[in-house]
Amino acid sequence: MISFCKSILDFLRIDLPLTFKNSLLLAAVYTFIIPVIRGISNLDNIHSADVFGQSLALIGVFLFIPIIRQELEVSVKEIVYTKVWSYRKSVSIRLICSFWMITIFASIMRLQNCSFPFLKYVTVTILYAVFLGILGLLFSQLGNNVIIGYLASLGYWSFCQFDILTEENVLYIL
């Protein structure tokens, strides 16, 4: 058990700077810009849900899609797949680390006197961010390009925001 924890810590020490160097910085800047653009103090349930659904869920796009950027090249992918530490574990740890950004932002909203059911909103936002991120990951893998993943995720989010995809549509996941 101790060696497993040590291997996770070694992985995080080595992999996080490589994987999240640009994307985590971008997501952090975006997270700090949301309060300036939207204002997050003294919001009720409905306005808090708007901030979570319209703004904060995009963090999934910034954090999840670049996760596999390093492994998109065939030669790197072959090396990653032959390692004892599985690729699934690597991606899972990266995803779990990125959930903290949403939880921290929700905590800041609570400190700013916003009233909303914390656990419910955080869970739904994480699921929405994961959906947008996984959608982008899927298209990145299929197209072998990160830009395709960004366009797919942001396109889906835009279709939902502009009511092109509504609750009557099968593709509407919100």
pLDDT tens column, 52-84: 888 888 888 887 787 766 655 555 555 555 555
**Tokens encoding 113:** 């006197």
Taking residue 102's Cβ as centre, other Cβ atoms within 10 Å add up to: 25
Question: Residues 84-126: pLDDT tens digits?
Answer: 556 676 667 667 767 888 888 889 889 988 888 999 988 888 8
- In terms of pLDDT, which residue wins out, 22 or 150? 150
DSSP string, 34-65: HHHHH--SS--HHHHHHIIIIIGGGHHHHHHG
Residue 96: both structure tokens together:
């779990």
Q: What is the pTM for the complete model shown?
A: 0.77
| Cα angle: 28, vertex 14, 145; to 5 degrees | 65
* Close Cβ partners of 26 (under 8 Å, ≥ 6 residues apart): 62
Residue 68's CB is within 10 A of a number of other CB atoms, namely 21
Give the model's confidence band at 139: pLDDT under 50 very low, under 70 low, under 90 confident, else very high: very high
Q: What is the pLDDT of residue 75?
A: 52
